[in-house]
Amino acid sequence: MIAGGIDGGGTKVECVMVSDAGEILGYGIGGPVNTNFSPVETVVQSFDQAAASALASLTGQQVAVVVAGSPTNPALLSSLITHWFPRATVVLAGEGELVLAAGGMVERGVAVISGTGSLAMARDGWRKLAVGGWGALLGDEGSAYDIGLNALRAVCQADDGRLPPTALSEAVCCWGQIDRMRDLPRVIHGSDAKCGDRFAIAGLARMVAEVAGRGDETAHRLLTEAGARLADQVNTVVRRIGFSAREAFDVIASGGVLMHNPVVFETLLGRVLESWPDARVARARVPPAVGAAAIALTTAGAPTEDVARLFNAPTA
């Protein structure tokens, strides 16, 4: 029996095929699939690319169950999955559910995601609550986009003299291919804007981390503030779902920012433990797409020990 897991987001979609023995058989990756920000044609192309690559090595074997979590229009997502996996049972899950599964099949705890966007989701058995996930204009606090946007605001304020000078200014000029900061509005807002889209601004998060690593105080502050905003989402959803202050529960972190930026993660860790000292805060053990595949195997009735092998298998 073969099962599939799909994890989609604002930057990429990943597709994983696994055997009922917990072996990863195929992997594919495509571009953005968030229909709130990407046109349908792009979403379809991204999904097709990921699915075709994941299925390339299966040579006609049928997929029994597919679990997918993605901010894609549900009707479109279901039709794409049915096209590529016509005989599979399809289960649509939330992004947070995939992250909790990627943390080791956690059934009681919190998922916190910081990639292009951000979200916190708590689960207590069948009860689920979400905080955040409102998108770039309404929220996404602590996300890569949030970090990038606040970096752009910081260099403008530094140019005005409202903030101290920062090495981010030179880095932003290189990024925008401009000679002076007063040209920044043109590349963000102008008719020839080449840096104003959500993905370009989110990409600035890496630059902020690099500048912070060289000792720039403004860049470091932006990262700690991002970690604090993510912790606020976690603390809020924990209170809302009703975990007690001295209760042990898991907090599983995922997304490019939390997986690769130690300043953001350590700030999140510290702020959460201040309020919930017995919480177990950790990064996801495997990518969310593998977590989706683990849910798929469980749905298909695979033995627990076979599902557990996914958490030790090499991933792409």
Architecture of domain 2-104+286-311: 2-Layer Sandwich (3.30)
The CA-atom distances, in angstroms, between 95 and each of 65, 139, 143, 178, 233 are 18, 17, 15, 38, 15
Comparing 109 with 139, the larger pLDDT belongs to 109
Could you tell me if 66 and 85 are in contact, meaning their C-beta atoms sit under 8 angstroms apart? Answer: yes
For 8-72, give the DSSP string: E-SS-EEEEEEETTS-EEEEEEES---TTTS-HHHHHHHHHHHHHHHHTTTTTPPEEEEEEE-SS
Distance CA 96, CA 105 (A): 12
CA dihedral of residues 204, 208, 214, 220 (deg, nearest 10): 180
**Residue length of the chain:** 316
Supply 125's token pair. Answer: 């058995």
- Which of the four pLDDT bands, split at 50, 70 and 90, describes residue 314? low
Residue 137 predicted with pLDDT over 90: no
pLDDT at 192: 62
Residue 1 predicted with pLDDT over 90: no
pLDDT tens track for 65-114: 999 988 888 899 999 999 999 889 999 999 999 999 999 999 899 999 99
- Which of the four pLDDT bands, split at 50, 70 and 90, describes residue 195? low
High-pLDDT (> 90) share of the chain, %:
69
Q: Establish whether domains 2-104+286-311 and 107-284 are of one fold.
A: yes
- Which of the four pLDDT bands, split at 50, 70 and 90, describes residue 199? confident
Residue 162 predicted with pLDDT over 80: yes
pTM of the model: 0.90
Supply 309's token pair. Answer: 């092998």
Lowest mean pLDDT among 49-63, 136-150, 231-245: 49-63
Domain boundaries, the chain: 2-104+286-311, 107-284
pLDDT tens track for 271-303: 999 999 999 999 999 999 999 999 999 988 888
pLDDT tens track for 42-53: 999 999 999 999
Which residue(s) pair with 19 in the sheet?
2
CATH topology of domain 107-284: Nucleotidyltransferase; domain 5 (3.30.420)
Distance CA 92, CA 170 (A): 44
